[in-house]
Amino acid sequence: MIRLQLGRKTLAILILEDVFRGGETVIDCAYGVNVENIDMDTSFGTRLTLNTIEAKKLLKNLKELSNTVSLGLRTQMNNKIKEIQKQLKEEVADV
């Protein structure tokens, strides 16, 4: 399981770009990111728990979106990309 903390701007962009989908159709299951668990705190931070496959989908979406946003948000997204990649490597090393 991959655990990730997202800021409010990054989460808002992902929601506006329809990255998280309900999983009702085959397309939603194939391209949408299905989150295992979401925890929100009072500072508008969001903690997501994702399966490995879903984390890879989120990683792909973050890479695509990071080229289209402002510099400050791009930095935040690139930090999340590195965090996901690190956790994916750790998960592979544990197996």
pTM of the entire predicted model: 0.85
Measured CA to CA, the distance from residue 31 to residue 29 in angstroms comes to 6
For residue range 30-65, list pLDDT tens digits in order: 778 888 888 887 777 889 999 999 999 999 999 999
For residue range 11-25, list pLDDT tens digits in order: 889 888 888 876 677
Measured CA to CA, the distance from residue 71 to residue 31 in angstroms comes to 26
Q: Dihedral angle at the C-alpha atoms of 37, 63, 82, 71, nearest 10 degrees?
A: -110
Residues near 51 by Cβ (< 8 Å), separated by ≥ 6?
1, 2, 34, 36
